[in-house]
A = this chain, B = another copy of it.
Amino acid sequence: MNRDARIIAVRQNVLKRNDLVARELRQEFRTAGVFVVSLVSSPGTGKTVFLEKTLTLLQPEYRVAALVGDLATQNDAERLARSRAPVRQIVTGTFCHLEAEMVRKSLEGWSLAGLNFLFIENVGNLVCPASYDLGEDLRVVMMSVTEGEDKPLKYPPIFHGADLAIITKFDLREAAEFDLRTATHNIHAVRPEMPIIEVSAKKDIGMQDWLRFLFSAAGSGEQKAVGRKQ
């Protein structure tokens, strides 16, 4: 087998195994009644500040938790802990994405029962996470107004595999000369009709739209995540 064929074969095995673990995870999440959301974006798009705000807004009424992946540092887990939600850091070393097995290991010893929402923040990367199912119910792809409107066209797989697009740092749209029409057009060129929400977690723009979307997504089907804290 030549070098390229060997790499492809190894990669397919890894993906096949990942899909099996993801399927088991999804079943576990369903049984426990927890709605699982994963976040993917470039480094620096603002996943962590968005997640911190989301956890803080949900905390009074819902039981929430988060896993956060990074090559190095516990910084994000420390930032997210300010929300007082339980948070665990997954340090990936040189891996440019999370895998289902890392999620499973990271959840060991945690009881999922009674949890309403679990958030998984992936490593900042617009390429690698695209192929790895983590067992999540909702995959959110994020891009900031400062990154340029062309990102969906240049990184199609990750936009294609997402359920919702969130445009972050919307307070900077004028300074960044961001063109929402073009961005929307490009997102829909890759993933027709994907819902899009504009937010600024820092300036509290669009966060209620996001929460409404989240409740609606969690409530559809089995109404599993809509029960509040007792």
Judged by a CB distance under 8 angstroms, whether A147 is at the interface is yes
The residue from B131, B146, B151 contacting A169, defined by CB atoms under 8 A apart = B146
A156 CB–B CB distance under 8 Å: yes
Contact partner, A126, options B6, B10, B43, Cβ 8 Å: B43
Q: Mark A101-142, 1 if CB is under 8 A from B, else 0.
A: 000000000000000000000011111100100000000000
Size category of the binding interface on chain A:
35 or more
A71 touches B157 (CB 8 A): yes
Interchain nearest-CB distance for A41 vs B (Å):
9
* Given the contacts A127-B71, A127-B94, A17 and B43 also touching, CB distance less than 8 Å: no
Given the known inter-chain contacts A10-B7, A96-B125, A172-B176, please indicate yes or no for A43 contacting B155, CB distance below 8 A.
Answer: yes
Residues of A within 8 A of B (CB): 3, 6-7, 10, 13-14, 17, 42-46, 70-73, 75-76, 94, 96, 123-128, 131, 143-144, 146-148, 150-151, 153-157, 169, 172, 175-176
